[in-house]
């Protein structure tokens, strides 16, 4: 089977690429801020394992904040990975095609989520299987 025709020209992709690259830079800044903040502090300091003068509630709050920041960090990393994959699809000519079925992804979906990998039908099927 011959390779599918590109859905977007380089001219079409330029503003989308710019938007994705800007979003990735913003996510990278947020990631750096998290790493410089609570994620840079050793867990033992935050949980009260070393500082015995902390109240238990303070130690619990610090642990909760660290867990929240770790979750945010993981989400940021996941979004950056999705953006990186979208940029690679732009480079290899498969951007805008569902990675599962190969059909075009709806333009409205790409406008809302320019890093979307799945068409709505396949995304719904994925959500139902969870």
Q: What is the pLDDT of residue 59?
A: 62
| Whole-number pLDDT of residue 57 | 61
- Specify the DSSP element, H or E, that contains 17: helix 10-36
Which of helix, strand or coil describes residue 118? coil
Q: If pLDDT is split at 50, 70 and 90, which confidence band does 18 have?
A: very high
| Confidence category of residue 1, pLDDT binned at 50, 70, 90 | very low
Q: Which is nearest to 105 in space by CA: 25, 23, 16?
A: 16
Tell me the pLDDT tens digit for each residue of 27-79: 999 999 988 876 555 555 544 454 555 565 666 676 777 788 889 999 999 99
Region 102-130: mean pLDDT is 94
Q: What digits encode the pLDDT tens for the residues 85-102? A: 999 999 999 999 999 999
The confidence band for 116, taking pLDDT boundaries of 50, 70 and 90, is: very high
Instruction: With both helix axes pointing from N to C terminus, report the angle between 56-92 and 10-36 in degrees, rounded to the nearest 10.
Output: 160
pTM of the model: 0.77
Assign residue 3 a region: left if phi > 0, alpha if psi is -120 to 50, beta otherwise?
A: beta
Residue 105 to residue 98: CA distance in whole angstroms: 6
């Amino acid at each position: 089977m011959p390779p599918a025709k590109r859905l977007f020209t380089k001219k079409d992709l330029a503003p989308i690429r710019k938007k994705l690259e800007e979003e990735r830079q913003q996510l990278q800044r947020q990631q750096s801020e998290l790493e410089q903040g609570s994620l840079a502090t050793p867990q033992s300091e935050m949980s009260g394992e070393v500082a015995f003068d902390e109240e238990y509630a303070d130690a619990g709050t610090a642990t909760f904040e660290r867990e929240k920041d770790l979750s945010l960090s993981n989400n940021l990393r996941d979004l950056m990975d999705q953006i990186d994959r979208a940029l690679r699809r732009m480079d290899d000519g498969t951007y805008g095609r569902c990675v599962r079925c190969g059909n075009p992804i709806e333009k409205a979906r790409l406008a809302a989520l320019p890093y979307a990998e799945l068409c709505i039908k396949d995304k719904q099927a994925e959500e139902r299987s969870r």
